[in-house]
């Protein structure tokens, strides 16, 4: 998993509440078990018309936001089903950070496991960042995970909270497998000892 330390990028505004996982990645794209290739179908039903043409008014289709790495979203982002394809699609598009007033629990947890930083802030702070994100190509925001600070285009800063264990995992690029591999030497020692003590197993 790619480390998340400090991210500076374009922030895209998505001021919609209750954006569920089927809106993030519709059910017809869940057949794959690959984490790559889903970015083109992120927000598919909002990005494309019935003929597959881009809808110009959708934020990620606008030239200024095509390379957005941060999403400033409305309340209760990621609700609905527990599909892990939702963070996969965001990450494959290039989104590394989502900021909202609240997230659905399973989506929130899945973000951390896939290298995305979900940040929960009070409404007034989200409103400020949403306003910053409306600036198009000038909507450059820096998210500093080490210091837990978001810096806006004008230099104003907002602090955020993050669980210390999840912070450690993101800073070091550790998913569940990576965490296990950190203990590889201890596991090998235990396995060797267990084999000697119970050779019949």
How many domains is the chain partitioned into structurally?
1
Q: What is the CATH number of the domain that holds 22?
A: 3.20.19.10
Q: Is residue 1 assigned to a domain?
A: no
Q: Is residue 56 assigned to a domain?
A: yes
Q: Is residue 93 assigned to a domain?
A: yes
Closest C-alpha among 78, 136, 127, 81 to residue 107: 78
Domain that holds residue 138: 6-173
Q: Is residue 19 assigned to a domain?
A: yes
Q: Is residue 78 assigned to a domain?
A: yes
pTM (predicted TM-score): 0.89
What are 54-73's pLDDT values in tens digits?
A: 999 999 999 999 999 999 99
* 101 band by pLDDT with thresholds 50, 70 and 90: very high
What are 104-156's pLDDT values in tens digits?
A: 999 999 999 999 999 999 999 999 999 999 998 889 999 999 999 999 999 99
Q: Is residue 136 assigned to a domain?
A: yes
The maximal CA–CA distance of the chain, rounded, in angstroms, is 68
Q: Which are the contacts of 52, defined by CB distance < 8 A and separation ≥ 6? A: none
Q: Is residue 32 assigned to a domain?
A: yes
Q: Is residue 197 assigned to a domain?
A: no
């Amino acid at each position: 998993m790619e480390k998340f330390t400090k991210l500076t990028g374009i922030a895209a505004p998505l001021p919609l509440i209750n954006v569920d996982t089927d809106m993030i990645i519709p059910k017809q794209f869940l057949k794959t078990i690959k984490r790559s290739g889903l970015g083109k179908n992120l927000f598919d039903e909002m990005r494309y018309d019935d003929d597959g043409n881009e809808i110009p008014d959708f934020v990620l289709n606008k030239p200024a936001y095509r390379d957005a790495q941060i999403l400033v979203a409305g309340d209760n982002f990621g609700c609905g089903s527990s599909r892990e394809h939702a963070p996969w699609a965001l990450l494959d598009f290039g989104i590394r950070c989502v900021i909202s007033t609240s997230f659905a629990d399973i989506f929130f947890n899945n973000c951390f496991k896939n290298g995305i930083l979900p940040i929960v802030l009070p409404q007034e702070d989200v409103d400020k960042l949403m306003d910053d994100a409306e600036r198009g190509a000038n909507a450059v925001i820096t998210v500093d995970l080490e210091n837990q600070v978001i810096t806006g285009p004008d230099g104003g800063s907002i602090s955020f909270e993050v669980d210390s264990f999840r912070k450690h995992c993101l800073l070091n690029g550790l998913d569940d497998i990576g965490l296990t591999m950190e203990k590889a030497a201890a596991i090998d020692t235990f396995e060797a000892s267990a084999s000697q003590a119970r050779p019949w197993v």
